Protein backbone atom coordinates (compact mmCIF):
# COMPACT_ATOMS: atom_id res chain seq x y z
CA UNK A 1 0.00 0.00 0.00
CA UNK A 2 3.05 2.28 0.25
CA UNK A 3 2.76 3.31 -3.38
CA UNK A 4 -1.02 3.81 -3.57
CA UNK A 5 -0.95 7.62 -3.45
CA UNK A 6 2.00 7.90 -5.82
CA UNK A 7 0.30 5.45 -8.17
CA UNK A 8 -2.94 7.44 -8.09
CA UNK A 9 -1.01 10.62 -8.91
CA UNK A 10 0.80 8.88 -11.78
CA UNK A 11 -2.47 7.51 -13.20
CA UNK A 12 -4.02 10.97 -12.93
CA UNK A 13 -1.07 12.56 -14.72
CA UNK A 14 -1.41 9.91 -17.44
CA UNK A 15 -5.10 10.73 -17.84
CA UNK A 16 -4.29 14.42 -18.16
CA UNK A 17 -1.68 13.60 -20.80
CA UNK A 18 -4.30 11.64 -22.76
CA UNK A 19 -6.69 14.60 -22.63
CA UNK A 20 -3.86 16.91 -23.62
CA UNK A 21 -2.98 14.70 -26.59
CA UNK A 22 -6.62 14.38 -27.68
CA UNK A 23 -7.32 18.13 -27.64
CA UNK A 24 -3.74 19.39 -28.25
CA UNK A 25 -3.94 21.86 -25.40
CA UNK A 26 -0.48 22.05 -23.84
CA UNK A 27 2.39 19.64 -24.51
CA UNK A 28 0.93 18.54 -27.85
CA UNK A 29 0.44 22.19 -28.80
CA UNK A 30 3.78 23.68 -27.66
CA UNK A 31 5.90 21.22 -25.68
CA UNK A 32 8.73 23.61 -24.81
CA UNK A 33 6.48 26.35 -23.47
CA UNK A 34 4.36 23.84 -21.56
CA UNK A 35 7.42 22.23 -19.96
CA UNK A 36 8.66 25.63 -18.83
CA UNK A 37 5.24 26.57 -17.48
CA UNK A 38 4.72 23.36 -15.51
CA UNK A 39 8.37 23.22 -14.41
CA UNK A 40 8.46 26.78 -13.12
CA UNK A 41 5.15 26.27 -11.35
CA UNK A 42 6.41 23.13 -9.61
CA UNK A 43 9.68 24.81 -8.59
CA UNK A 44 7.78 27.83 -7.27
CA UNK A 45 5.42 25.68 -5.22
CA UNK A 46 8.30 23.53 -3.91
CA UNK A 47 10.10 26.69 -2.76
CA UNK A 48 6.87 27.80 -1.10
CA UNK A 49 6.62 24.40 0.62
CA UNK A 50 10.23 24.61 1.80
CA UNK A 51 9.62 28.08 3.21
CA UNK A 52 6.48 26.86 4.97
CA UNK A 53 8.36 23.88 6.40
CA UNK A 54 11.22 26.10 7.60
CA UNK A 55 8.76 28.43 9.33
CA UNK A 56 6.90 25.53 10.91
CA UNK A 57 3.69 26.28 9.02
CA UNK A 58 3.65 22.93 7.18
CA UNK A 59 4.40 19.47 8.47
CA UNK A 60 4.44 16.07 6.82
CA UNK A 61 1.67 13.76 7.89
CA UNK A 62 2.16 10.02 8.10
CA UNK A 63 0.12 7.76 5.89
CA UNK A 64 0.38 4.08 5.03
CA UNK A 65 -0.39 5.05 1.42
CA UNK A 66 2.82 7.06 0.93
CA UNK A 67 6.26 5.72 -0.02
CA UNK A 68 8.15 7.34 2.84
CA UNK A 69 10.74 8.72 0.39
CA UNK A 70 11.65 12.30 1.28
CA UNK A 71 13.07 14.91 -1.11
CA UNK A 72 14.04 17.07 1.88
CA UNK A 73 13.23 16.87 5.58
CA UNK A 74 9.42 16.75 5.87
CA UNK A 75 8.99 16.98 2.06
CA UNK A 76 7.68 13.68 0.62
CA UNK A 77 8.27 12.53 -2.95
CA UNK A 78 4.53 12.55 -3.55
CA UNK A 79 4.45 16.33 -3.05
CA UNK A 80 6.43 16.89 -6.26
CA UNK A 81 4.03 14.65 -8.19
CA UNK A 82 1.01 16.40 -6.65
CA UNK A 83 2.40 19.82 -7.55
CA UNK A 84 3.07 18.62 -11.10
CA UNK A 85 -0.54 17.45 -11.29
CA UNK A 86 -1.77 20.78 -9.91
CA UNK A 87 0.25 22.85 -12.40
CA UNK A 88 -0.68 20.60 -15.34
CA UNK A 89 -4.39 20.81 -14.50
CA UNK A 90 -4.10 24.59 -14.25
CA UNK A 91 -2.34 24.82 -17.60
CA UNK A 92 -4.86 22.54 -19.32
CA UNK A 93 -7.80 24.52 -17.92
CA UNK A 94 -6.23 27.82 -18.99
CA UNK A 95 -5.62 26.53 -22.51
CA UNK A 96 -9.10 24.98 -22.76
CA UNK A 97 -10.78 28.24 -21.74
CA UNK A 98 -8.52 30.17 -24.13
CA UNK A 99 -9.23 27.84 -27.08
CA UNK A 100 -12.99 27.69 -26.49
CA UNK A 101 -13.19 31.48 -26.11
CA UNK A 102 -11.37 31.90 -29.43
CA UNK A 103 -13.70 29.38 -31.10
CA UNK A 104 -16.77 31.18 -29.75
CA UNK A 105 -15.45 34.51 -30.97
CA UNK A 106 -14.70 33.08 -34.42
CA UNK A 107 -18.22 31.64 -34.55
CA UNK A 108 -19.71 35.01 -33.59
CA UNK A 109 -17.71 36.77 -36.29
CA UNK A 110 -18.73 34.20 -38.91
CA UNK A 111 -22.37 34.49 -37.90
CA UNK A 112 -22.22 38.28 -38.02
CA UNK A 113 -20.61 38.16 -41.48
CA UNK A 114 -23.30 35.75 -42.69
CA UNK A 115 -26.06 37.95 -41.29
CA UNK A 116 -24.58 41.08 -42.87
CA UNK A 117 -24.18 39.39 -46.26
CA UNK A 118 -27.71 37.99 -46.17
CA UNK A 119 -29.33 41.28 -45.23
CA UNK A 120 -27.57 43.33 -47.89
CA UNK A 121 -29.10 41.32 -50.74
CA UNK A 122 -32.72 41.34 -49.50
CA UNK A 123 -35.26 44.00 -50.38
CA UNK A 124 -36.57 46.11 -47.54
CA UNK A 125 -39.75 44.53 -46.09
CA UNK A 126 -40.71 47.61 -44.12
CA UNK A 127 -43.18 48.80 -46.77
CA UNK A 128 -45.31 45.68 -46.55
CA UNK A 129 -45.18 45.07 -50.31
CA UNK A 130 -45.60 41.51 -51.43
Is 125 within the bounds of a domain?
Answer: no
Is 128 within the bounds of a domain?
Answer: no
pLDDT of residue 63: 86
Is 61 within the bounds of a domain?
Answer: yes
73-118 confidence digits (pLDDT tens): 999 999 999 999 999 999 999 999 999 999 999 989 988 888 777 6
Its pTM stands at 0.82
Share of the chain above pLDDT 70, in %: 90
Is 83 within the bounds of a domain?
Answer: yes
Q: Domain of residue 106: give its range.
A: 4-115
pLDDT of residue 52: 96
pLDDT tier, 130 (very low <50, low <70, confident <90, very high otherwise): low
Residue closest to 39 by CA, chosen among 83, 69, 98, 8: 83
Is 129 within the bounds of a domain?
Answer: no
Q: What is the count of structural domains for the chain?
A: 1
Is 89 within the bounds of a domain?
Answer: yes
Is 79 within the bounds of a domain?
Answer: yes
Is 120 within the bounds of a domain?
Answer: no
Amino acid sequence: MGFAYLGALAVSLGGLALLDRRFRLAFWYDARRSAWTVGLGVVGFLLWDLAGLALGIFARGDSPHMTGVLLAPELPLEEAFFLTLLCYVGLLLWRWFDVTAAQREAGRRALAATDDAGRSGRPDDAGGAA
